[in-house]
């Protein structure tokens, strides 16, 4: 009975010594990433809570301030990110099939799309500086007397999209690392857990944007 249950440590290069089997290692790594993503949800959650409260208190000013954001650029950026998630999935699918070259190609595409998002975002932010929509002494939003409330909108906008962009930068770094590991031939059709959990992280950062986009760009557009 005992020897039947007792599993011996499988000796393979990718298996770390604390694990008995490759399946155990994969399950542990995946669970670890999910738990980490839960902490990320709580991390962003604090800011979403602040957004909710202030949007509730100052809904008119928030709707007005929202109109100063360009929903077309925001929409294009959303599409760019969704495409990057798609190429990430294709990279993992290629890994499952053991096609190293297409894994690398799709990872490069993912990274380029991620960078494209950041570049577009950068232009958007730069425009806000020119329009005096950055919180500070020279802040001004036309059409409302409640400049303080409008500043709160843009404080939240910069804090939340900034934090999201920071996660995108980290994500690009992760994809670059995965690309390097793929190039070195670390992954096989049997072992590609880092790609899997790297992909989880990438999708998570995407999902954060999927919430940020309507919350900041699409408030009350019907009246606009």
Partner 1 sequence: MATTTATVPEQETYLNAGYGIKSWLFTKDHKRIAILYLITITFFFLVGGTFAGMIRLNLLTPRGALVSAETYNKLFTMHGVIMIFFFLIPSIPATLGNFLLPMMVGARDLAFPRINLLSWYLLVAAGLFAIFAMLAGGVDTGWTFYTPYSTSYSNTWVIATAMGIFIAGFSSILTGLNFIVTVHRMRAPGMTWFRMPLFVWAHYATALIQVLGTPVLAVTLLLIFCERVFHIGIFDPSLGGDPILFQHLFWFYSHPAVYIMILPAMGVISELISTFSRKPIFGYSFVAFSSMAIAVFGFLVWGHHLFVSGQSFYAGLAFSFLSYFVAIPSAIKVFNWTATLYKGSISFETPMLYAFGFIGLFTIGGLTGLFVACLGIDVHVHDTYFVIAHFHYIMVGGAIMAYLGGLHFWWPKITGRMYPEGWAKLSALVIFLGFNLTFFPQFILGYLGMPRRYYAYPPEFQVLHVLSTAGATVLGVGYLIPVVYFLWSLKYGPVAGANPWRATGLEWKTTSPPPLHNFDRTPVVTTGAYDYSTVIGEGAHVG
Binding site for partner 1 (CB under 8 A): 2, 5-7, 16-20, 24, 27-28, 31-32, 35-36, 38-40, 42-47, 49-50, 53-54, 57-58, 135-136, 146, 148-149, 151-152, 155-156, 158-159, 163
Residue that is written with structure tokens 């070259």 in the block: 101
Q: CB under 8 Å to 175, separation ≥6 — which residues? A: 88, 107, 110, 111, 114, 198, 202
Residue closer to partner 1 by CB (options 154, 187) is 154
Residue closer to partner 1 by CB (options 91, 215) is 215
What is the C-alpha separation between 84 and 73, in angstroms, rounded? Answer: 17
Residue closer to partner 1 by CB (options 71, 124) is 124
Give me the least distance between CB of 214 and partner 1, in Å please: 21
Cβ(103)–Cβ(95) under 8 Å? yes
Cβ(117)–Cβ(168) under 8 Å? yes
Residue closer to partner 1 by CB (options 137, 185) is 137
Residue closer to partner 1 by CB (options 24, 102) is 24
What angle is formed at CA 56 by the lines to CA 54 and CA 37, rounded to 5 degrees?
Answer: 65
What is the C-alpha separation between 64 and 80, in angstroms, rounded? Answer: 26
Give me the least distance between CB of 148 and partner 1, in Å please: 4
Give me the least distance between CB of 118 and partner 1, in Å please: 20
Cβ(91)–Cβ(103) under 8 Å? yes
Give me the least distance between CB of 222 and partner 1, in Å please: 25
Cβ(54)–Cβ(152) under 8 Å? yes
Could you give the count of Cα atoms lying within 13 Å of 191 in the half-sphere of its Cβ? 15
Residue closer to partner 1 by CB (options 32, 75) is 32
Give me the least distance between CB of 93 and partner 1, in Å please: 25
Give me the least distance between CB of 24 and partner 1, in Å please: 6
Cβ(187)–Cβ(181) under 8 Å? yes
Cβ(138)–Cβ(132) under 8 Å? yes
């Amino acid at each position: 009975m005992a020897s039947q249950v007792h599993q011996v440590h499988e000796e393979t290069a990718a298996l770390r010594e604390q694990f008995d089997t490759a399946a155990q290692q994969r399950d542990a790594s995946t669970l670890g990433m999910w738990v980490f993503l839960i902490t990320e949800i709580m991390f962003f959650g604090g800011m979403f809570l602040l957004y909710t409260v202030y949007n509730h208190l100052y809904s008119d000013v928030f709707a007005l301030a929202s109109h100063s954001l360009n929903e077309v650029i925001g929409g294009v950026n959303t599409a760019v990110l969704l495409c990057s998630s798609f190429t990430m999935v294709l990279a993992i699918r290629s890994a499952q099939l053991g096609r190293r070259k297409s894994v690398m190609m799709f990872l490069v595409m993912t990274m380029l799309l991620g960078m494209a998002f950041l570049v577009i975002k950068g232009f958007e932010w730069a425009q806000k500086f020119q329009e005096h929509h950055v919180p500070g002494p020279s802040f001004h939003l036309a059409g409302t007397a409640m400049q303080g409330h409008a500043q709160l909108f843009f404080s939240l906008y910069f804090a939340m999209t900034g934090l999201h962009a920071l996660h995108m930068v980290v994500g690009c770094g992760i994809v670059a690392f995965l690309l390097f590991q793929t190039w070195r031939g670390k992954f096989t059709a049997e072992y590609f857990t880092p790609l899997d959990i790297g992909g989880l992280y990438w999708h998570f950062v995407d999902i954060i944007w999927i919430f940020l986009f309507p919350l900041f760009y699409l408030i009350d557009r019907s009246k606009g």
